[in-house]
Amino acid sequence: MEPVTPSEGWGALHLFYRVDRERAEREPGGAKRVLDAVASLEADEHQALCFAVLGHKADFGVMALGPDLARLQAFEQELAAAPLAPSWSYVSLTERSEYTSDEERARQRLYPRLPLKNAICFYPMSKRRDPEANWYALPFEERKQLMEGHGRIGRSYAGRVLQLITGSVGLDDWEWGVTLLADDPAVLKEIVYEMRFDEVSARYADFGPFFTGLLLEPPEALRRVGLAD
Ligand code: 76R
């Protein structure tokens, strides 16, 4: 299989599934299929964060991340062989920011290592192109200044929230995927609320659906959603 590797950044797949309970009962070995797929993805130098989704939008979620889009697509196919019915997905690439020139920060954003916190929140967002609030019509200097205000709020959550912004312009229905990891779920709510008052979000942002889940070691995540062999 020829690798498909972006010249910069990694691919990110956010995959959401419902457990097909009838199939799981009929065909034992479903959990093992998922665990084998995750282990083999990780052996190929990619990451997979598994989570038990809260609420009815999905049961099980995986954020898969790494350099080879062909490998990520193969992983998606391996999960399709398990008793999981796709419910939603999001495709994006890690990106450096246009507004920071710090090389170490850029490296962390392009090639992140994601830790296992208690909770994960994912949502897609776009910047507005309304006649009276068009982000893309602002001069670079003004956008940069606005993003500095955003970054200041973000940095006040250092150590409490880990954020990964992945870009999806030209790849999926929104412009960015926002992945937030935290041990304290209240902090997820707090940071998003605080940012709503910041001009970048208040005036220029539109948001898609939010998914929240409990981040767990893969075998435990599967047990929690009722997939155990
Ligand atoms: O890497 C950096 O620290 C540079 C500062 C920074 C940039 C450039 C930064 C910091 N963000 C940047 C870019 Mn962010 N971020 C969001 C959301 O819900 C909402 O209102 C918005 C969703 C959150 C919660 C968040 C958190 N950020 C971006 C971009 C790309 C914009 C573009 O290119 O036009 C988006 C869409 C976006 C959205 N941001 C931070 C955070 C946090 C917690 C930080 C501090 C990160 C840290 O210091 O580790």
For the chain, give the number of residues: 229
Between helix 69-80 and helix 30-43 the angle, nearest 10°, is 170
Kindly give, in sequence order, each residue whose CB lies less than 8 Å from that of residue 21, ignoring residues fewer than 6 positions away. Answer: 83, 226
The helix/strand/coil state of 161 is strand
pLDDT at 157 over 90: yes
- CATH number of the domain residue 139 falls in: 3.30.70.1030
Q: Would you place residue 156 in the very low, low, confident or very high pLDDT band (cuts 50, 70, 90)?
A: very high
Amino acid identity, residue 100? T
pLDDT at 170 over 90: yes
Range of the domain at 86: 1-229
Q: What is the pLDDT of residue 125?
A: 98
Query: Can you give the pLDDT at residue 36?
Result: 98
* Residues 206/125, Cβ–Cβ less than 8 Å: yes
Question: Which atom of ligand 1 lies nearest, measured to the CA of 195?
Answer: 20
CA–chain centroid gap for 9, Å, is 14
Say if residue 229's pLDDT is above 90: no
Measured distance CA(138)–CA(145) in Å, rounded: 11
Cα 10 to averaged position of ligand 1 atoms, centre (Å): 18
Q: Which of 123, 157, 193, 204 is catalytic?
A: 123
Ligand 1, atom 28: nearest CA belongs to which residue?
Answer: 165
The whole-number average pLDDT for the span 84-90 is: 97
Parallel, antiparallel, or unpaired: how do β-strands 161-167 and 60-66 relate? unpaired
Is the pLDDT reported for residue 228 higher than 90?
no
User: What is the per-residue pLDDT across 88-123, written as a single tens digit (0 to 9) for each?
Assistant: 999 999 999 999 889 999 999 999 999 999 999 999
| Residue 193 a catalytic site member | no
**For atom 48 of ligand 1, which residue has the closest CA?**
155
User: Counting atoms of ligand 1 from 1, which one is nearest the CA of 97?
Assistant: 8
Number of domains in the chain: 1
